[in-house]
Structure 1
Amino acid sequence: MAEIAVLRTHIVNYAKTREVYVAYRKAGYSKKFREEHEEEILLHQAAKNAFDEMGVKKLPKVKELQTEYAKLLEEKKKTYAEYRRSREEMRELLTAKANVDRVLKMEVEQDVEK
């Protein structure tokens, strides 16, 4: 899920800064142009680097990512409910075990006293 969120952020940044980067290339990678649009150019380059690191050749549509993200979130909610039930059951079992251990220890101490 985190990977999808990061990818979505980079896609949005890439789309927003693409025109500025194209103009920067047309300006012959001018230092003056870069100074004026430093933030946009850095965002664009960071997005391109992230795509390369992730091995993304063709950018997925943001809508597809949102659909996949929603599906994963729903699955996580279902799984988390099961996790909570299992965790509560484990706590009850640990409490019962501690009680049994305590009772057995008392019985052993009483046998030793006799």
Structure 2
Amino acid sequence: MATFYNVILAFIIELYRAAQATFRRVLTGTKLPKMDELRAEAQKLAAEKKETYREYKVAKKDMQDIVVAKCNIDHLLGLTGGRNNKEMEW
């Protein structure tokens, strides 16, 4: 049982050292950003996301209107394929 514990402990220490080395390599002496800065950036990104989503909804509605108009014109000109043309011939 002690051997299993030692293996797990060695694995955890190895993971810790790898994470520590990665942080040192990535940060290279710079400090982490402050929480207030991160929160402000998150709020800014959330506002930008809201605005972009509004633009997306408008563009999606415009696209749906165009598709409906195209279908209506195709139907009026008899360009719709399949069953509708066969029904119109009878």
Structure-1-length-normalised TM-score: 0.47
Could you say which structure has the larger radius of gyration?
Answer: 2
SS of the residue corresponding to residue 81 of structure 1 reads helix
- What residue in structure 2 maps to residue 35 of structure 1? 9
Query: Does structure 1 residue 63 correspond to structure 2 residue 36?
Result: yes
Kindly state the Cα deviation for residue 47 of structure 1 after the two structures are TM-superposed.
Answer: 6.8
- What residue in structure 2 maps to residue 103 of structure 1? 76
Kindly state the Cα deviation for residue 78 of structure 1 after the two structures are TM-superposed.
Answer: 1.1
Kindly provide the amino acid, as one letter, of the partner of residue 89 in structure 1.
D
Structure 2 unaligned segments of length 5 or more: list them: 1-5, 80-84
Query: Does structure 1 residue 46 correspond to structure 2 residue 19?
Result: yes
Percent of pairs with identical residues: 33
Say if 1:90 and 1:102 are closer, same or farther in 2 by CA, change over 3 A. same
Kindly state the Cα deviation for residue 61 of structure 1 after the two structures are TM-superposed.
Answer: 1.9
Residue of structure 1 aligned with 2:66, choices 93, 100, 104 = 93
Residue of structure 1 aligned with 2:46, choices 64, 68, 73 = 73
RMSD value, Cα = 3.4
Structure 1 unaligned segments of length 5 or more: list them: 1-31
Say if 1:36 and 1:48 are closer, same or farther in 2 by CA, change over 3 A. closer
Moved over 6 A (4+): none
Kindly state the Cα deviation for residue 104 of structure 1 after the two structures are TM-superposed.
Answer: 1.0
